[in-house]
Structure 1
């Protein structure tokens, strides 16, 4: 029974702690006042196996970077033409969807671009929003991955040879 409860307890505590630390750090750094994305990323990357966590961390960073790049690039091209937000968001989602077709690992880019557009401050260039959203996601993902690494390695160091 303990062999099932202990891993579950560690997983719950690790996910909760990494999410709260990611949120607190993003809020302290005032990342465009949307620290929720750091919290979400810390939770999204959480897996039971360390190698899987790091795979998700790096995929999340790549997907986020793609969505940010598409949103900022597309905005710089079509915004001067006077397109509405809905049209711009639709084009961004369509482009990211096309890029991710047949590549499920890239699908998060489909909503990342829209989130960048939705959270934009009209008084700042869109690339500032893109950098902020990207930083929040990357920070949360890396914090989630590092929590997993250090907790798993910490428990490995405390095992006696007879326990292995």
Structure 2
């Protein structure tokens, strides 16, 4: 029997299984939760859950913090730009140019905030003029934060359930 194909329980296998389960579970739960809450674009909950999911609990928590900060900046920039520059179609490119410029300046200094560069355009491009940019920002922010929270909680819960502790990127298997 070829032993290289056998599954042998241990921390590296539990870590790999936990990562796959977290990503899959986070995507599914985020989609279901966003749908149940009636959020308009559940895809952002799913994307956010997958962006936040990392190999270790420490990395996931760090990704969550940066994701929340970057989302807040992108939302703020979108609301300011969308409020100052009217929304009719000819101005959309101007809105995007200004919003991305502001977020890129911030992200150049703090690379962990690069997600703000796509958050602001997403808000501006999903704004329905009758509802306004603030409503779009609240909705997109809710979707992103929902997915990020689900992924972070699921990561911690699965690591505890599988008794995975103290793993760092340096001592993870290369498989």
| TM-score where L is the length of structure 2 | 0.83
Q: What is the Cα deviation at residue 119 of structure 1? A: 1.1
Kindly indicate whether the alpha-carbon contact (under 8 Å) linking 2:74 and 2:116 is maintained by their aligned counterparts in 1. Answer: yes
- The 2-side partners of 1:6 and 1:99 are apart by 38
- What is aligned with 1:128? 135
Deviates more, 1:48-57 or 1:148-157: 148-157
Structure-2 change in CA distance of 1:69 and 1:156 (3 Å): same
Match of 1:8 among 13, 16, 24: 16
Match of 1:97 among 87, 97, 104: 104
**What number of residue pairs does the alignment pair up?**
156
- What is aligned with 1:25? 33
Structure-2 change in CA distance of 1:154 and 1:81 (3 Å): closer
- The 2-side partners of 1:63 and 1:56 are apart by 10
Structure-2 change in CA distance of 1:80 and 1:124 (3 Å): closer
Of Structure 1 and Structure 2, the greater helix share is in 1
Q: What is the Cα deviation at residue 107 of structure 1? A: 1.1
Which secondary structure state, in structure 2, belongs to the residue aligned with residue 115 of structure 1?
Answer: helix
Which secondary structure state, in structure 2, belongs to the residue aligned with residue 156 of structure 1?
Answer: coil
Q: Where in structure 2 are there 5+ consecutive unaligned residues?
A: 1-6, 165-175
Deviations 1:84-123 (A, max 9, x none): 1011111111111112222101111111100101111222
| TM-score where L is the length of structure 1 | 0.88
RMSD in angstroms over aligned alpha carbons? 1.9
- What is aligned with 2:3? none
Question: Is 1:138 the counterpart of 2:130 in the alignment?
Answer: no
Q: Where in structure 1 are there 5+ consecutive unaligned residues?
A: 158-164
Kindly indicate whether the alpha-carbon contact (under 8 Å) linking 2:71 and 2:116 is maintained by their aligned counterparts in 1. Answer: yes
